[in-house]
Amino acid sequence: MKKVKSKVYSKKIRSAVFISGRGTNFKSLVDFSKKKYSPINIKLLITDNKKAKGIIFAKKNNIKFKYFNYKNSHRSETKILKLLKKNNINFIMLAGFMKILSEKFIKKFNKKIVNIHPSLLPKYKGLNTHQKVLKNKDKFSGCTVHFVSKKLDSGKIILQKRVKVFRKDNKLKLQKRILKIENKIYPLAIKKIFS
């Protein structure tokens, strides 16, 4: 993995993070955003899960958060776009957000959206990546940070990191090991985008 040269940002990009669960990548992005060489300033957390653990971390860090129930995805996306506009958000990071953004949303936002995926794309798009890796007896798995496009998990790759798969691995062991790497490479990918 190449080291990305650090530069100090006087004006940071107003950003939002979308999550559905634990929010470990959200936490790592918030920690990263506080550093002077980080290009982002996280102003908003969006979630489709009112019990998402990431909300607790948002509260601790005085980051605005908003829950959307997604019963009607079109209505939710319309409300989200209004909220992003109101908060002058120019960059979105998806971090374990379990809803697929529509093509209409991606076009209307019209700025950079990135996602982190727990496989070595283009392998194993979508869900259940760890089960697929173990079922196919792959020697390596990993994670990928990529731009979001209208096709699921198909946008341009920004950064990838391989993780060795061991014989004794089960879904949980592999997931934990990959998640640790996700937390490290997501900030590196953000630096790469804006360097």
CB 99 within 8 A of CB 48: yes
64 token code pair: 């605005």
Q: What is the pLDDT of residue 10?
A: 72
With a CB cutoff of 8 Å and minimum separation 6, the contacts of 99 are 20, 48, 70, 73
Residue 3's pLDDT band, with cuts at 50, 70 and 90, is: low
pTM of the model: 0.94
Residue closest to 76 by CA, chosen among 97, 58, 53: 97
Q: What is the pLDDT of residue 5?
A: 55
pLDDT tens profile 108-167: 999 999 999 999 999 999 999 999 999 999 999 999 999 999 999 999 999 999 999 999
User: Beta strands 157-164 and 140-147: pairing type?
Assistant: antiparallel
Question: What is the distance between the alpha carbons of residues 80 and 102, in angstroms, rounded to a whole number?
Answer: 12
Residue 97's pLDDT band, with cuts at 50, 70 and 90, is: very high
Is the confidence at residue 61, as pLDDT, over 70? yes
| Alpha carbon of residue 56 to chain centroid | 18
Q: What is the pLDDT of residue 191?
A: 96
The DSSP 8-state label assigned to residue 21 in this structure reads: S
Question: Which amino acid appears at position 172 of this protein?
Answer: L
Using CA atoms, how far residue 168 sits from 54, 92, 116, 131, 137, in Å, is 31, 37, 25, 14, 11
The DSSP 8-state label assigned to residue 71 in this structure reads: S
CB 69 within 8 A of CB 77: no
86 token code pair: 């109101």
Alpha helices of the chain — where are they, by DSSP H?
24-33, 54-60, 73-86, 103-109, 129-135, 171-194
Is the confidence at residue 99, as pLDDT, over 60? yes
Q: Which residues are catalytic?
A: 117
